[in-house]
Structure 1
Amino acid sequence: MELSKAFVKAKNPCADGFRWFLRHRPQGEDYQPLLDALVADGRVDDACWLLAQFGPTSAVLQLDELSCESIVFAGAIEVRGGIDAGARVRAGRGIRAGGDIRVGRELVAGETIAAGGVVEATTLEAGGDLLAGAAVIEGALRAGGQLRIARDLVCRRDLDVGAQASVGGVLVVEGEVRVARSLRVRGTLRTGGGVRAGDGVLVDGAIDCGSHLDAGWGIKAGGPITARGAIRAGESLCADGEIVAGAGYGVYAGLCVQREDWAGSARVVATERPAELLSGCWVGPAVLA
């Protein structure tokens, strides 16, 4: 696809960026070579703007390894080894690497981001799934599809997932956790903000939530459940330990269940009855299945 002067101008570019285009590519340029030229000249913001305006292509960049300061590619990036970038990696479609993906600032893909090893970035945004061995994100993380991390996931700000989320180790999020479907954690779950799952929350270890803990279905933990705010489950609420809400807040089970069905579908299980229990059927301590 060739981008002419008139074509680019119709997108209302910034004055500085359009002047660069007129000076360096007055006769127009093919899409990807123009992105490459902008990045090479240090105009990565302009390259990202151009990609946002004209969208992804079907092109595929296949490499053994990728090491650079920044790259903006309109298609998919497929690397057999690892990716190491000082600043930004952005693709109009997916990004896949057989090894680690380490990016100094932004890692952005219009579709899935998949790594055989660790993913490290300041911020991460995937329009599709995020699949990795482990991940450390210093800022916010957003995946429009599923999130599947084989080991630990550490996120220093908010975590947003558009489908279900599964973490094979510990999940530590310093901000909010918002998961559209179910949240599954095989280690412990610790957050600085609230947790909201559209379906259920299942954690093999303890849950330590910095604000409200909400699930559309049930919440089940292999350790105690502690929140600084309210604890609200649409169905049952089970812990192998205490269930403790924040000062002045309540514990609620069965919010999506009729009261006559509480005994079977809004059970509250813990080592002792929560002092703040306001709804649900208290059944006492039990061995978690």
Structure 2
Amino acid sequence: MPPRLSWRLIQLPFSLGAVAPSATSIVIPIRTFGIRSLNPPKPSKYDVSPGLPVLQSTQAAALERKAATLPLRTGAVMIKKGMSAIYDTETGNRIPCTVLQLDRVQVVGHKRVDIHGYWAVQIGSGWKHHSNVTKAMLGHFAGQGVSPKRHVYEFRVKDESGLLPIGNIVNADWFQEGQFVDARSNTKGKGFAGVMKRHGFGGQDRSHGVSLTHRSLGSAGPSQGGGSRVYPGKKMAGNMGNEQHTEQNLEVLKVDAENGLVLVKGAVSGPRGCIVRIQDAIKKPWPKFEHATEAST
């Protein structure tokens, strides 16, 4: 087939009795069609309702949206000592519990919204020799007038009323029996694990031609129809464990202020000796404390 000329280069028809149209009278056709999208955008029913607030991207607006889910008080850094059980004297039921212990928990700093963009209390736990502390952290501890801590964590609070004075000691009676807390800790590290242990795969057949690959992954991705590649997020063998996990709504069964022990119902992730951070549960009503407001003033 011979090549076609562009419509701009096609010679206009000319007759003897007619005047050739000028260049200014040529009408350029406008394209009124296009490629239709296979997945056209659909309006969301959650964004068209009347009276919805306009989402803003400022720091103040973000803090206001999180105000209902930020605890009013700081939490505490504890050490997991193991699991035990207590018996209910009324029902006689055996209740499993996790024993957590506080080790010289102290307020070592504040995070303020006008400087850092949010409200938080910096809590330190344990003790560390000054020769094993970096100069930056040693200057931070010296500026606050507290001894070097082995573990330092931050706990977000709602507003300025949740900032405890620097140097204040947090004891076990900071929590009360019957309240609910959220516990954050790192899970046990399992090392490199296969897909059956890591993701619960069923494995391959023990017959029908399968040999030496009974616990292996098998096919990792589709062929040409799926792009001839392995999709991101594919469950495969790899490092298992050693990830932060949060157990929500754990009930405080017993508080021993003299020995610095807090017993929470159920299990908490991590091995014995790991660090556990507990704070008032965000999905339960805030506990009412009289001494908490006095300490913050």
Same fold by TM (over 0.5)?
no
TM-score normalised per structure 2: 0.18
Query: For the pair shown, which has the larger CA radius of gyration, 1 or 2?
Result: 2
* Greater strand fraction, Structure 1 or Structure 2: 1
Higher RCO (C-alpha under 8 Å, 6+ residues apart): 2
TM-score normalised per structure 1: 0.18
